[in-house]
Amino acid sequence: MTREDWLQLLKLVGTCLGNRLHHFIPAKAIPSRPLRWAVICLQTILPLGKKPLGLRLLHTLEQMGPVYIKIGQLLSTRPDILGLEVCQALAKLQDKVDPIKNLDIQAEVEKSIGQTDAFHSIDPRPIASASIAQVHQAKLQDGSAVVIKIVRPGIEATINADMSLLIHIAKHLDSRFAMVRRIHLPRIMQDHLETLLLELNMFSEARNQIQLRRNFAGSPLLYVPRLYAQFTRHNMLVMEQIFAPSIGNMTALKDANIDMRVLAHKGVETFFTQVFEHNFFHADMHPGNVLIDISDPSDPMYVALDCAIIGTLTNEDKFYLAQNILAFFHRDYRKVVDLHIRSGWVPITTDPDAFEAVIEAVCEPIFAKPLSEISFGPFMGELLETAGQFEMEIQPQLVLLQKTLLYIEGVGRQLYPELDLWETAAPFMQRWAQRNLGPLAVITELAEQGPRLLSELHRLPQLLKDDGQMALRLELAKQHSEIRQLQEQLEQMQRKRRRLFWLVGIILTGTLILVLNLDHSTTGASGLGSLLPLTFGTE
């Protein structure tokens, strides 16, 4: 790590301790005794005080900048993890971050678009201010109500500095802990950096918004505001203003007598449509980015804002994911195991019977339960912990999808806790399977791939021969696993040997000092002993 990274780390630790965030750590649950006592000592030396933990966490994330504010936005949707009071405090991070200081919005807009008469008026006070940009109301010359989204000046340098530190920490952890290696933390952090940098590019967001609006044109599920492309610049975006309450404004939704059950079901269907039908999903669905059209309380509609972060999957990942979900709905845990092995998400050496048993043990209890009785945070944690026993690797390409699922769950829990996710999602997935995995899909695929298959027909004997070598590959995989275990054992022995070497060195040095001290006190000999009074303060 560079000197700047070390300074950033010290600043991060100091900020967390200064705001007493170490009180979030459940000391009694820490298995390591030295670490547990260290946390207890810190909590004793630096007491919490009167300020609530929620406000302390909020102010800490605001101090640390956009990278950490994004984490806070995700946490703000999880009252089951942090508690309602903390989440209510963190809700400010969704669209109420402190505005840009000393910003002349009129001058900034005119400078960006190169003309002074594009807008009839611009409100200098922002109506929303987030970690990356802030939003102002305005009117075009024809009277159309629009909003102007403008990126915070200098934010790119801040993001690069913060993410440089987090990437170094990720690499450090990855080199020392097998659990971290399974989740590919350095790649996740690198992907997060690229995602944040994309949020700074309003051209990219504009393209995403246009595509998402096209995907849901005429749909009763989701409305995407019109974009004014002629005013879009690298640091600025102009779009239609929507007058509707945020999904986080539960008071307004209840006062409007919104049918929460319909809204929750539409949310699930919207998510699955984006992932499996369009393969183009909004991946930043925190409440600050979602409004609700309440013009028809019995049939409300979602409104999506801020299309900067969009997720896509490869066809292979999408099909494997869909088949996993279908197998899960049918409680076919053996199919889930087979899919994980075939996709390479777990090693080919995995014992399928044992893996099936742990998946069933974790998953079976949550069926037929409403959302109010399920918490996917602890559930996913338990599932990953048990899967980790089989060296299951977290797929970085699915991280955005996992984050979106957490957003959907958090919002759904607030809207309609009685929602049955299985009942809502299963019919959608069944229809998708009929179209994409059924006989008609197979015939269509064969028709499309027919010429290529004919051209590869001469390779059929070789393909059959390769299939016959599966046992050999399995044996090689087992040998590789055994070699890796031996390497880890050897590294552990070397670490123990180094610690023993240093321990023996310390003991010998201490003994030498003691002998020289005794020699000096009895004979007055010079040498190292004569320096000890100066060095150690002996008498």
Q: How far apart are CA 151 and CA 234, in angstroms?
A: 9
pLDDT digits (tens, 9 = 90+) for 278-294: 999 998 887 778 999 99
- By DSSP bridging, strand 145-151 and strand 133-140 are antiparallel
Q: What is the pLDDT of residue 512?
A: 53
359 in any annotated domain: yes
Same domain, 321 and 295: no
Q: How far apart are CA 52 and CA 21, in angstroms?
A: 11
273 in any annotated domain: yes
466 in any annotated domain: no
Same domain, 145 and 287: yes
Q: Which of 131-135, 280-284, 427-431 has the lowest mean pLDDT?
A: 427-431
170 in any annotated domain: no
Average model confidence (pLDDT) for the chain? 77
Q: Which residue has the tokens 């609530």?
A: 52
User: Which domain does 147 fall in, by range?
Assistant: 105-153+201-311
pLDDT band at residue 69 under the 50/70/90 scheme: confident
Residue 401 near residue 313, CB atoms below 8 Å:
yes
Same domain, 116 and 255: yes
Q: How far apart are CA 512 and CA 517, in angstroms?
A: 8
Give the Cα-Cα-Cα angle 368, 257, 260 (nearest 5 degrees).
Answer: 20
Question: DSSP for 503-521?
Answer: HHHHHHHHHHHHHHHHHHH
Q: What is the pLDDT of residue 529?
A: 40
Active site residue 466: no
Q: How far apart are CA 259 and CA 253, in angstroms?
A: 9
Same domain, 437 and 412: yes
Q: Which of 334, 335, 379 is nearest to 354 (CA)?
A: 334
Q: Which of 135-139, 270-274, 386-390, 446-450 has the lowest mean pLDDT?
A: 446-450
Q: Which of 24-33, 331-340, 496-505 has the lowest mean pLDDT?
A: 496-505
Distances (CA, A) of 121 to 102, 149, 356: 19, 15, 63
Instruction: Give the domain-ending residue among 311, 343, 374.
Output: 311
Q: What is the pLDDT of residue 388?
A: 63
Element (H, E) at 281: strand 281-282
Q: How far apart are CA 351 and CA 337, in angstroms?
A: 9
| Domains contained in the chain, number | 4
Same domain, 331 and 260: no
Identity of residue 258: I
Element (H, E) at 415: helix 399-415
Instruction: Give the domain-ending residue among 94, 120, 145.
Output: 94
- The better pLDDT of the pair 2, 478 is held by 2
Q: What is the largest CA-CA distance in the chain?
A: 102
Helix (H, G, I), strand (E, B) or coil at 537: coil
196 in any annotated domain: no
Same domain, 418 and 517: no
Query: Residue 212 pLDDT > 50, yes or no?
Result: yes
pTM of structure: 0.69
Any residues with CB less than 8 A from the CB of 316 and at least 6 apart, and which? 343
Order of strands, sheet of 133-140, starting from the edge strand that comes earlier in the sequence: 119-129, 133-140, 145-151, 236-240
Same domain, 209 and 296: yes
179 in any annotated domain: no
Q: How far apart are CA 21 and CA 56, in angstroms?
A: 7
Same domain, 356 and 438: yes
Q: Which residue has the tokens 């369009």?
A: 278
Please give the share of the chain, as a percent, with pLDDT higher than 90: 20
- The better pLDDT of the pair 411, 308 is held by 308
The active-site residue out of 95, 162, 174, 284 is 284
Same domain, 248 and 329: no
| Terminal Cα distance for the chain, rounded | 44
175 in any annotated domain: no
Q: What is the pLDDT of residue 533?
A: 38
Same domain, 444 and 508: no
Same domain, 122 and 64: no
pLDDT band at residue 487 under the 50/70/90 scheme: low
- CATH number at 147 reads 1.10.510.10
Instruction: Give the domain-ending residue among 311, 338, 363.
Output: 311
Give the relative orientation of helices 470-523 and 528-536 as an angle to the nearest 10 degrees. Answer: 100
Please give the share of the chain, as a percent, with pLDDT higher than 70: 69
463 in any annotated domain: no
Question: DSSP for 154-165?
Answer: THHHHHHHHHHH
Same domain, 226 and 124: yes
Q: What is the pLDDT of residue 522?
A: 47
Q: What is the pLDDT of residue 163?
A: 87
What's the rounded mean pLDDT across residues 302-330? 85
